[in-house]
Structure 1
Amino acid sequence: MNDSVIESYEGYRSVDLESRAASASPYELVLVLFDGLLDELARARGHIEGKRYQQKGQSLEKCLNILNGLNGALDYDNGGELVQGLSRLYDYCIYRLSDVSVTLSLEGLDEVVHLLEVLREGWEGVNEKRGGR
C-alpha cells in the first residue's frame, strides 16, 4: 500500500472512532477501547512479521497507552476484588507487551490477544445485561 492510502485509512479510522466514542455509554466506550487495542495488536503482529521495527514500537506504545488508560479508569474505591483482579491482568498484559517489544515473541503477543479477547467478551456481556447495544 502506498502512503496516501494508509493516511486515508488512518483518517477514516480516526473519524469512526471519534463518532463511536462520542455516542457511547461507559461500557460501550470500554468496548471501543478494546476493539482499538485488538486492532493495534494485529498491526503490531504484522509489523513484527514484516520486520518493520519502528512501526512495531509505535503500535505497541499505543497498546500500552490504552492498557494504562483502562487500568487508570478502574474504580478502585468501589470495585473490590474484581477491580484488583482486572488491574493485575492489565499490568500483566503491559509486562508481556513490554517483553514482546524486546523479544519480538509472537507467542507472547498471542497470549495477550487471547487474554484481551476474553476480557472483551466479558465487557460485552456486562454491556448487554445493562441494556447496551
Structure 2
Amino acid sequence: MSAYNLNESYDSYRTVDLEARAASASPYELVLVLFDGLLDELARARGHIEAKRYQQKGQSLEKCLNILGGLNGALDYENGGELVQGLARLYDYCIYRLSDVSVSLSLEGLDEVVGLLGVLREGWEGVNATRK
C-alpha cells in the first residue's frame, strides 16, 4: 500500500470518527472534538513543514484556520462578557500566528499556538467535566 493510500485511509477513518463523536456530543463536547481535530491537524502541519511538503502544509494550516474561525464564530458575544472577549482575542492571535507560520515556516510559532490551544483545551475539558 502506498503512502498516499495510507494517508487517504487514515483521513477517511478520522472523518468517520469525528462525525460519530460530533453526532452524539453536547455543545461542550463538540468544542473538545473541534480542539482535538485542530491539535491533530497542527501536528500534521508540523510534519509537512519538517518534510518540506509545502502544499500539504498549506492545506493543513487552512483547515486549522477554518476550525479557529468556527470556534471564534460560535462565541456568544452578547452573553459571554469578558471571558468571550478574551477567547476571541486568543483565537484571533492564533489565526494571526498561523498565517505567519504559513509564510515563515516557523516551528516555534507553530509550537506557541499548539501550547496556547492545549491550555484552552484543558480549560474546556474542565468545564465539560463540571457540567456532567
* TM-score of the two chains, using structure 1 as the length reference: 0.97
Partner of 2:128: 127
Partner of 2:106: 105
Tell me, what secondary structure is at the counterpart of 1:28?
A: helix
Partner of 1:11: 12
Partner of 1:61: 62
Partner of 2:89: 88
Instruction: Using the TM superposition, give the Cα deviation of residue 66 of structure 1 relative to its aligned residue in structure 2, in angstroms.
Output: 0.1
Q: Whose helix fraction is larger, Structure 1's or Structure 2's?
A: 2
Instruction: Using the TM superposition, give the Cα deviation of residue 5 of structure 1 relative to its aligned residue in structure 2, in angstroms.
Output: 1.4
Counterpart amino acid of residue 32 in structure 1: V
Rounded to whole Å, the distance in 2 between the matches of 1:20 and 1:4 is 24
CA root-mean-square deviation:
0.6
* TM-score of the two chains, using structure 2 as the length reference: 0.98
Counterpart amino acid of residue 9 in structure 1: Y
Q: Which runs of at least 4 in structure 1 moved beyond 4 Å after TM superposition?
A: none
Counterpart amino acid of residue 5 in structure 2: S
Partner of 1:21: 22
Q: 1:82-103: CA deviations, max 9, x gaps? A: 0000000000000000000000
Q: Which ranges of structure 1 fall in alignment gaps of 5 or more residues? A: none
